[in-house]
Amino acid sequence: MKIKIGTRGSKLALWQAYHVQDLLKEKGVDSEIIVIETKGDKVLNVSLSKIGSKGVFTEEIEDQLQSGDIDIAVHSAKDMQSKLPKGFEIIAFGKREKVHDILLSHKKIDLNSETLVLGTSSTRRLAFLKESYPAVKTVPIRGNLQTRIQKMKDGQCDALWLAYAGAHRMGYDDMIVHEFDPSEYIPAVGQGSIAIEVFETIAPEKKRVVREAINHEPSEKCLLAERAFLRKMDGGCSIPVFGRAVIKEEVLEITGGIISLDGSKKIIKTCSSTLNAVEKAGEIIGTNVLKAGGDKILEEIKSQNEE
């Protein structure tokens, strides 16, 4: 048996693909890595919210899953749209890294400085910044992590606002100058985990072997809850929706919410559940956020994105 692994070509995406390959190898399964360029990799001069949030980093890879050119796709879970196209399924989530956000820089940073310029293209991070540090300026910076770091060193910004997981996996821990509290600056749904996507035509034996080798059950429970919340919110890359689930003593607690683009309005809800009802918990907080006024914030954001 040989598993064909599809992935994007950035160093971080390849790290994830090689990690999956190593886990398969531990189970005695041979595999091959196939690099696929996506729309999100090609269009770097436009923000994700303007490109369109659905399938920006997955569409071309899903085409190859459907054609059978690859057996599985390795994604960052936070890049996965909340509703997959017909016939597609996530069959495993890798063990989750720490989920919090960080600032990466080659110099000392003061978040209260009125001259500070941060690089980020995330609507969630931009909204949090406007809420907490309105004086800080931002510039949109996209591309793989190495490209963004070079842009920062070239003077486009003073620091990059990123997920800890990617910076850590690429060995940039020594450049972390600030760590955000994930209970206050709640991360994107799925942040810190790898998702394995397949198409319905995959051989059952391959599907079974991949799930056994890759899936980390506690991470899966958290991700299923968060993704159920995201589906309820109908959120994508262009919507500043955030969600984080944790498991403590066989109880899952999920916190999720939405913040307006200008940071002036924020709604957060929390729900606890047993481990056999995690998706229901995600749906409940999604419903509660929408009922508390999240629906109006969502409408405002979508109308602003269309302008």
Annotated active-site positions, please? 79
Phi, psi of 247 (to 5 degrees): -115, 125
Residue with tokens 């940039």: 172
Task: Round to whole Å and give the CA distance between 243 and 56.
Answer: 20
Q: Rounded CA gap, 110 and 118, in Å?
A: 11
* 213 neighbors 22 (Cβ within 8 angstroms): no
Q: Residue 35's Cα: distance from chain center in Å?
A: 20
Helix 11-26 and helix 145-153, axial crossing angle in degrees, nearest 10: 150
Give the strand pairing for 159-163 and 2-7. unpaired
Query: Does residue 247 contact residue 300 with C-beta atoms inside 8 Å?
Result: no
C-alpha closest to that of 10 among 76, 62, 80, 97: 76
Nearest to 249 by CA among 275, 271, 229: 275
Nearest to 139 by CA among 117, 112, 106: 117
Residues 40 and 101: their CA atoms lie apart, in Å, by 21
Q: Which of 146, 164, 172 is nearest to 10 (CA)?
A: 146
Say which residue the tokens 């995406």 belong to: 13
